[in-house]
Structure formats: structure tokens, C-alpha cells
Chains A and B, each alone.
Chain A
């Protein structure tokens, strides 16, 4: 999955932040915060071919109902698309 914006993922003081770089600074209106699962997914986005791969990764990591995880991942990706990050 291809990221359209230049964002650096960093852990600072135990929190996950996406920090904009380059011209992304102009249109991101500050920073983004990720929850732990958000960070988990973010790290896997560039290498993932599709949502199914992300779902598989979540199912391997978490004790979660498949339908629930799929719904959450879809919402997450929608949010990224809405922000024109993905």
C-alpha cells in the first residue's frame, strides 16, 4: 500500500506520533497520534499488498474476532484515505 505523504513514525515518551516532513508540513495541520494498534498497522502498510494482509497480521498478533478486526482495519484505512495519506 502506497503512502502519499511524508510522515515519520516516532515513539516519544511512550506515545506514537506521525510527524510530517517536507511539504507535508503545509497540509497536515500538525501531528497525528496513533494508538498502539494504529502504530502496528502503520508499520505494516508499506509492505502490505492489501487489507487482507493487514488483517492476517492483526489476527496473528491479537486475540480478536476476524469480523471485528476487518471492520476496524477498514475504518482505519478509510481515515487515512480521507486525509489523503493513503
Chain B
């Protein structure tokens, strides 16, 4: 499957173009705050009592209407997340509707429910990518960290997805509860043939309870660094690991700097620029971690939520990326010039791609 390699080019290109044009290229739809796991570091999950006291989940029709609005404004990618999104009985109503908009839909899940009828329905129309949180490498870790004896089921479900041909990626949050499992987790990922995106930095779950910022149990900076290094040691080829180690060593040796945060500079990522996050109760956030909303509600629509203060965005790599796209996939050997605007026939450029590119599959290009 080439998509894992080429998708980032597409994503970068579209986000870059979107930043110029002011498009909401990617949106995350947090369909629910409910979850069948009880992970202590989670930034979303709430018990029903907390949910009831804070608001109501949007209905399927509200999600679909918001997604349509975003798609009309240029949304290319949607992430359906939670909580555990498959807990919603109307999940497939929302999922299929957004897919039919021509949006590339990915799903975040703990994978514990992806068997039987749910799996069959998913495989009928698979997501662009399935992102699965793998919380540990043993039954004990799942019991301790997630509050459920779900390890065997999760691994079996990942295997079923892989065997069916679904593009699966694993997310690993390294925490005090699973840091002893890194060897086992890397072995499982290798055996399953799935890439893993690991992080040892856990944002404090301040959206759920702002007070936890000081009191939540998190890895210290030193522990987080140590487990990060251990993970890279387990997953990188030795030359690459050594190169990274040299770079990190040089960084560590540099003069320490005061921690200075320029609060006027905004954020340097895509959050709030070309990407947005809609919480389970319909508030728009720049990203799922940030607790301060921009005040949009389902009735307001997206445009108001996205109309924040403009902020600088990274230099535009579009021409290069576009070139890579075209070289990677080829394009149709037919193009027309832009209309003159006077209703006359358009100038026809002929077969625009030279012969040396024909051999590489010009005509219709796959990305």
C-alpha cells in the first residue's frame, strides 16, 4: 500500500493551498465523550453524569450538516473520534454520509468493538485510515490502565482489519501505566505490520477537569525523554537511531534558555488555521487539547467559528509538493488553458506531458 507514504504529500499540499485560500482542510468530529475504557490520562472521556451536566451530544443530523458545510468550504479530511465513536448507535449514518460527500474519512478507535456486525459494516466501506490506540502489550496493562480486559480482543480486531486490507495505524501514548510494555508493544506492531505513532508527552486533561493540570499523574520530563529514547531504540534502524542520538546530544549541550512563551504569536501548527475540532457538544476548538473555544455552536455554523484572527502560516511548499504529487502519480495527459472569458473556444495545449513521462503512467494519476 503506497498510501501511507504518499498521503502526507497530499495532506501537506492541500493544507498549504488551504492556508492560502482560507479553507478548513481538515476537521475532527468528536462524536461522543463516552468510552468503554477508563484511561486516566484521557482528555475527553467523561462519565454520563458529567456529560449530562455539561451539555448534549449532537445528533447525527447535526454532525452531518456541519460536515456538509465544512465540505462545501473545502474540507478534504475528516477524523471521526471520541471517546469511542463506535459507541454511537448512529455511527454509520454519520460515517457514510460524510464519505459520500467525497471527504477522506479516518477514524480514531480503541478497536475493542470492531468485530461482528460493526466490523462487517466497516469493511463494506473502509475508512481512509483507521487509527487505533494500542494502550499496552498485555492483558494486565489493559486491566490496570483501561479498566477492561480487552487486550486479546483488540489485537484480534486489529489483525482482522489488516487481513481485510484496511489501512491501519497505531497510536501509542506512553504513560506511567504502560511504560513497562514498550518491548511487547513494538513486537506486536512489527508482527501486525502496522506503523506506530508514539508520544511520551501527555497533555494534561484540562478539558475534562482543569484542576488536574497540577494533580494528574504524568511522566516527568526526564521519564518521558527516557521512554521516548527507548521507543526509538526499539523501532528505528541502528544508523538512524545513532544519528538522532547525536542530534539530541548536540541539542542537550546547547546553552539552556529561559522558558519564554510569546502569547501573541499564536500557534505555529495548523490548529485553527486549516484544521478545526468540533467537540461532542458542538463547540469549535482549534484542536482537541485546547480548552478555550471560539464560541461556535451548531446553530452558528462553521464560518463564524473559522473566522478568527488571521495568523501567519508556514512558508508555502505548494509548487514543490504539487510537483511531487504529479511525479508520483502522473496526471492526465490532457489539460486546457484557463478560459479567456470572452466565450470563445479555449486554447488547447495538446498532450501537455512530455513523452518521457508517458512511460510513467501519465493520463490518470494515482496518489
Contacts and interface: CB of A to CB of B under 8 A. Distances in A.
Interface of A: 8-10, 12-15, 17, 19, 21-23, 25-26, 28-38, 40-41, 58, 61-65, 68-69, 71-73, 75-76, 78-80, 83, 85
Interface string B120-152: 000011101000000000000000000000000
Contacts of A35: 331-332, 334-336, 352
Interface string B202-230: 00000000000000000000000000000
B100 A8 contact: yes
Interface stretch (B185-193, B265-273, B343-351): B343-351
Given A10-B102, A37-B334, A30 B347 contact: no
A63 B333 contact: no
A30 B3 contact: yes
A72 B334 contact: yes
A25 B128 contact: yes
Contact of A31 (B10, B124, B326, B332): B10
Contacts of A72: 333-334, 350-351
B365 interface: yes
Contacts of B23: 13
Contacts of B365: 32-33
Contacts of A10: 102
Interface in B66-89: 74, 76
B76 A69 contact: no
A30 B125 contact: no
A72 to B, nearest CB: 5
A14 B100 contact: no
A41 B336 CA distance: 11
Contacts of A80: 364
Nearest to A27: B165
A43 to B, nearest CB: 13
A36 to B, nearest CB: 5
Interface of B: 1-3, 6-7, 10, 14, 17-18, 21, 23, 25, 74, 76, 99-104, 124-126, 128, 165, 325-326, 329, 331-336, 344-348, 350-352, 361, 363-367
A67 B239 CA distance: 56
A68 B334 contact: no
8 contacts: A8-B101, A29-B2, A29-B366, A30-B329, A32-B366, A75-B333, A79-B332, A79-B364
Given A37-B332, A38-B331, A68-B350, A76 B363 contact: yes
B348 A30 contact: no
| Most chain A Cβ neighbours within 10 Å, of B23, B100, B350, B363 | B363
Q: Which 8 A-B pairs have the closest CB atoms?
A: A64-B348, A38-B332, A79-B363, A37-B334, A8-B102, A10-B102, A63-B345, A13-B17
Contacts of A41: 334
Nearest to A58: B348
Contacts of A78: 363
A76 B18 CA distance: 29
A63 to B, nearest CB: 4
B5 to A, nearest CB: 10
A37 B331 contact: no
A70 B352 CA distance: 15
B367 A31 contact: yes
B102 A13 contact: no
B22 to A, nearest CB: 10
A76 B1 contact: no
Contacts of B351: 68, 71-72, 75
Contacts of B76: 12-13, 17
Contacts of B126: 23, 25-26
A22 B125 CA distance: 4
Given A63-B344, A63-B345, A69-B348, 6 more contacts: A13-B76, A30-B7, A31-B367, A33-B365, A58-B348, A79-B332
